């Protein structure tokens, strides 16, 4: 049985979020999972575009290198790091649709805030947050267009609005697999929650929905001799 390939965007400002998300995935998975950090330090030969003033994380565009990193073979899941997995990732893996180049949760909303974590501007555009969770068919003939050259030269909207494929090749995933905390009402059945405005590791958002679950996961991810850990309170200022 080949492991489920999961790529998580890594930003050193949210390193703790990456670790907690990875642990939450592994703890609930019913089959082997391979987790890889999408970090710019490891992509120097593949990623050379200048940072866009509007991008809020290091992996805003490097996420589209996932099919290349997989050798344009098989399937792979990408997700932002500011998430918590509450379900079995094998369920998401099993939703693969052979017709689609990529599958996403198709959000239709307008952000309710003007600023978000680390005082970043809350940009508003069509298909916002669709690319925060992607189930790629890395071998699909449209996905093969995501070469390093294309990822480094295409505009942000070309990438995030799927101009590299066709509308009917963007499949849909259930909303429970990318529940936007602070934008959607609390959902006890959410399987992957996304702290898109700001995670509970920032003190401004420490009481957001699912924050107690995040802190429980944080504590559980520590070694036995580190179980007494104070609540994190990281300022975004």
pLDDT in tens, 178-236: 999 999 999 999 999 999 999 999 989 999 999 999 999 999 887 544 544 445 554 44
Is-contact 201 229, C-beta < 8 A? no
- What tens digit of pLDDT does each residue of 147-183 get? 999 999 999 999 999 999 999 999 999 999 999 999 9
Give the integer Cα–Cα distance in Å for 85 and 220: 14
Report residue 227: phi and psi, to 5°: -65, -25
Nearest Cα residue to 135 out of 181, 98, 166, 180: 98
Place of tokens 């509308």: 167
- What tens digit of pLDDT does each residue of 28-63 get? 999 999 999 999 999 999 999 988 766 667 788 999
Tokens of 49: 């575009």
Which pTM value belongs to this model?
Answer: 0.89
Taking the CA atoms of 168, 110, 128 and 54 in sequence, report the sign of the dihedral they define: positive
CA within 13 Å, CB half, 1: 8
Domains in the chain (CATH in brackets) are: 4-226 (3.90.550.10)
């Amino acid at each position: 049985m080949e492991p489920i390939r999961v790529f998580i965007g890594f930003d050193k400002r949210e390193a703790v979020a990456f670790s907690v998300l990875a642990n939450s995935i592994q703890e609930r998975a019913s089959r082997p999972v391979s987790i890889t950090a999408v970090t710019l330090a490891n992509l120097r030969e593949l990623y050379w575009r200048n940072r866009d003033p509007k991008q809020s994380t290091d992996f805003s565009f490097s996420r589209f290198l996932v099919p290349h990193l997989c050798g344009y073979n098989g399937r792979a899941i990408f997700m932002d790091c500011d998430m918590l997995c509450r379900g079995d990732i094998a369920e998401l893996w099993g939703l693969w649709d052979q017709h689609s180049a990529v599958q996403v949760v198709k959000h239709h909303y307008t952000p309710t805030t003007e600023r978000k974590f680390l005082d970043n501007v809350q940009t508003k555009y069509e298909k916002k947050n669709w690319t925060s969770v992607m189930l790629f068919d890395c071998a699909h003939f449209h996905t093969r267009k995501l070469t390093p050259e294309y990822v480094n030269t295409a505009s942000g909207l070309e990438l995030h609005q799927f101009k590299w494929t066709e509308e009917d090749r963007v499949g849909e995933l259930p909303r429970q697999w990318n529940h936007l905390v602070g934008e959607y009402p609390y959902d006890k059945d959410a399987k992957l929650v996304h702290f898109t405005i700001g995670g509970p590791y920032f003190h401004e958002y420490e009481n957001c929905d699912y924050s107690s679950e995040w802190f429980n996961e944080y504590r559980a991810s520590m070694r036995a001799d580190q179980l007494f850990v104070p609540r994190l309170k990281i300022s975004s200022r």
